Amino acid sequence: MLSVQIKKKLGAFSLNVAFEAADGVTGILGASGCGKSLTLRCIAGIETPDEGRIVLNGVPLFDSEKRINLPPQKRRVGYLFQNYALFPNMTVEKNILCGLRHQPDHQKRREALNAALDMMQLKGLERHRPAQISGGQAQRVALARILVSQPLLLMLDEPFAALDSHLRGALQIQIKRLLEEFSGTALMVTHSRDEAYHLSQNIALMDDGAFLAVKPTKQLFANPGSVAAAMMTGCKNIVPATKTGEYEVEVPGWGVRLVTAQPVQDDVCAVGIRAHYFGLRVQQNRFAVRQTDEMEEPFEWIIRFRFAHQAEDTPDVWWRLPKDRRPQEMPPALGVAPANVLPLYPPHRDAGKGGGNA
Footprint on this chain of another protein (rule: CB under 8 A): 41, 44-46, 71-73, 75, 77-79, 81, 83, 85, 87-89, 98-99, 101-102, 131, 142, 145-146, 149
Query: Smaller CB distance to another protein: residue 99 or 335?
Result: 99
Query: Smaller CB distance to another protein: residue 56 or 210?
Result: 56
Given a contact cutoff of 8 angstroms between Cβ atoms, the answer to whether 248 and 338 are in contact is: no
Rounded CA-CA distance 106/109 in Å is 5
Query: Smaller CB distance to another protein: residue 32 or 328?
Result: 32
Per-residue buried b or exposed e for 63-72, using 16+ beta carbons within 10 Å of the residue's own CB? bbeeeeebee
Closest separation between CB of residue 44 and another protein, Å? 5
Closest separation between CB of residue 106 and another protein, Å? 17
Residues in Cβ contact with 89 at an 8 Å cutoff, skipping those fewer than 6 apart:
129
**C-alpha distances in Å from residue 129, one per residue of 93, 148, 149, 234:** 9, 19, 20, 40
Other C-beta atoms closer than 10 Å to the C-beta of 287 total 18
Closest separation between CB of residue 103 and another protein, Å? 10
Query: Smaller CB distance to another protein: residue 89 or 283?
Result: 89
Closest separation between CB of residue 200 and another protein, Å? 21
Rounded CA-CA distance 82/158 in Å is 6
- Give me the residues paired with residue 128 across strands: none
Closest separation between CB of residue 68 and another protein, Å? 17
First to last CA, the chain: 25
Query: Smaller CB distance to another protein: residue 89 or 107?
Result: 89
Closest separation between CB of residue 321 and another protein, Å? 43
Angle between helices 135-148 and 165-181 (to 10 degrees): 20
Other C-beta atoms closer than 10 Å to the C-beta of 52 total 20
Rounded CA-CA distance 180/200 in Å is 10
Query: Smaller CB distance to another protein: residue 35 or 99?
Result: 99
Query: Smaller CB distance to another protein: residue 152 or 321?
Result: 152
Closest separation between CB of residue 160 and another protein, Å? 17
Rounded CA-CA distance 42/34 in Å is 14
